[in-house]
Structure 1
């Protein structure tokens, strides 16, 4: 893999998919910047743990992805710390579910800002650094909902479709440079947040764990199995490798067949 010694920024990475990506990139020798909107001792301890386990340079940098200036400052602080940004993984995201006529405008604005607009700001700030270094990888974490839709998720689906479109535009603008931009589209991933929902769902439907996972939670995922955060991380690592140098402007689905339906 070509990422040993590269510097990677992963937004929204103190838990879940983002953390899984950060851990996989660090295992492969990349320096890693973790990020979230909090700034707790636990956040910095997480960076220290990954550094101790992998030997990589790992830092935690707080930035609110709903704030464009802070998005750009995240890149600037990374450059000051590590001397550049080689890999950018736009992962930060939030969700809210409601029928469109009752969807709170402030929730719409927050989802679009964090799930979509933040990627514009970080990409705009990171691209000059990648061009200066003569190499770059941008991976946007979209969703199966970047390729299809579900009811009651208007803002999330709009943002994830937007991320897919943004990835294509950036890929075309960098097509003749050693920089690529792609979107990864996960289906349901077994994160701590999803794991915590299983017991309550079992009680709600009076089902055992396996049945509630396959018949309720993974109803739309044909494999009837969750993806893991490590698998998403491995997919991102592949897209950052030399083997993926001619993969740009596309989507990679990790959804157990969801978008094949």
Structure 2
């Protein structure tokens, strides 16, 4: 067993996940990076399946003999009105962003209980875990659900020393957001530059995108010593979005 803390990070190939992996490596973690299409020695896992989630947890335990922290970050988006939302796409989004965090927690529970410094579970819940936007029914539902999941994990894990927290970023400069520009432009009937100004950044009090490294800084803080106090809570990092 390694003497270093081990963290499993999902959705690691780009955006927030890639920044989190780099930051945790710099912080001295052994990191198992999991993605459907992994890079740089990461683990290939389809997190929409039970087998994929089990494989992610098993990979961390096999490589390092321990699992101290999970950052459930993998996500996707689909923009469409409820009346036109594809049912299969709904199932896929819920599987990846709500069922996967549950399965990761379930499969890793014993390892998190045994973590010498206390197990940590972080879920990337988004500001959409606290508020809603039109045309994003599956995403908003999944993110609201994962906030509830984290609160339950915090209560069930408290006696065993497990800390569970939901991170709620506003819009971050990631490929996921960049792909939304075209989809939102079609949904709203607007050009893409107007979508960025009038739709994407509209809820932000501070009119800019977050950078992935800013979210990674928060992850590192929550996995550090002071982060032990933040359990069962959604933590906004949203440039004033939820202050309205």
Q: Same fold (TM over 0.5)?
A: yes
Matched, 1:183 2:182: no
Aligned partners of 2:192, 2:227: CA distance in 1, in Å?
46
**Alignment CA distance shift 1:232-1:150 (3 Å):** same
Decide whether the 8 Å contact of 1:167 with 1:249 is kept in 2: yes
Equivalence map 1:191-202=2 (5 Å): 191-194=174-177
1:169 matched to which residue of 2? Answer: 152
**Residues 187-231 of structure 1 deviation map (CA, whole Å, 9 limit, x = unaligned):** 100124545777997xx6496xxx874444311111101111111
Q: Deviation at 1:5? A: 2.0
Pick one of 125, 128, 133 that aligns with 2:107. Answer: 125
Question: Structure 2: where are the runs of 5+ without partners?
Answer: none
Backbone CA RMSD of aligned residues: 2.1
Aligned pair count?
236
Matched, 1:25 2:24: yes
1:142 matched to which residue of 2? Answer: 125
**Residues 29-57 of structure 1 deviation map (CA, whole Å, 9 limit, x = unaligned):** 11111111125xxx13xxxxxxxxxxxxx
1:254 matched to which residue of 2? Answer: 237
Pick one of 45, 68, 80 that aligns with 1:86. Answer: 68
Aligned partners of 2:192, 2:72: CA distance in 1, in Å?
38
Aligned partners of 1:30, 1:214: CA distance in 2, in Å?
38
Query: Normalising by structure 2, what TM-score?
Result: 0.90
SS at match of 2:210: coil
1:65 matched to which residue of 2? Answer: 47
Pick one of 112, 115, 140 that aligns with 1:157. Answer: 140
**Alignment CA distance shift 1:14-1:179 (3 Å):** same
2:11 matched to which residue of 1? Answer: 12
Q: Deviation at 1:117? A: 0.3
Aligned partners of 2:178, 2:85: CA distance in 1, in Å?
26
**Residues 147-176 of structure 1 deviation map (CA, whole Å, 9 limit, x = unaligned):** 010111111111000000000000000112
Query: Normalising by structure 1, what TM-score?
Result: 0.84
**Alignment CA distance shift 1:192-1:206 (3 Å):** closer
